Amino acid sequence: MDRQKKYWYALYTKPRHEFKARKDLQAAGLEYYMPTVTTLKQWSDRKKKVTEPLFRGYVFLYGDEAERYAALQSPAILSTVNWNGVPAKIPDWEIENLRIFLSEKHEVFVGDKIEKGTKVKIAEGPFSGVEGIVFDNSRNERMLAISIDFLNRSVLVRLPAQSVVKTKEKETADA
């Protein structure tokens, strides 16, 4: 009997049910990934560190078709992200890039020689081979954004200028 190939799938969750979906996937013995970030929240009377999903409304499942169907049995999960009516399969490298970015805790800055909108490829370090586009942030520092295209989301990371190589002068203004 042929085993079906496993792929990464993005699953939509009910609003604010990402942690419940993760718990359900874990209880079902399914392989999942739910990237999180810890942020400092300010209320009128206190500050508190809060762990939140990086992508609100999504968890990622690594499985075959039967496992994807089993994941959809969770009351916290609404559906699979589809592309042209077919469950969208996320390339392994996109999930791996995301894991690399989130495991790296350093904050370093890109020099001013790389202009906003320049497409770059990382030449060295833990992100070697990853491509992205340089952004400006509010403090006028350069950042490299790596995008998971079908989710229309970007992850930003600060990198030293010597670790990136330009691949194109600029992306289109509408990018």
At 59, which CATH number?
A: 3.30.70.940
Number of independent structural domains in the chain = 2
**Domain match, 64 and 140 both:** no
Among the residue ranges 37-51, 61-75, 114-128, the one predicted with the least confidence is: 114-128
H helices present in 42-149, as ranges: 65-71, 92-103
Per DSSP, 90 falls in state B
Strongest mean pLDDT among 10-14, 141-145, 153-157: 10-14
Per-residue pLDDT of 154-169, as tens digits, reads 666 666 555 666 675 5
Three-class SS state of 100: helix
* Same domain membership, residue 83 and residue 104: no
DSSP state of 72: T
Residue 82 sits in which domain range? Answer: 7-90
Name the pTM for this structure: 0.64
Q: Is residue 2 part of a domain?
A: no
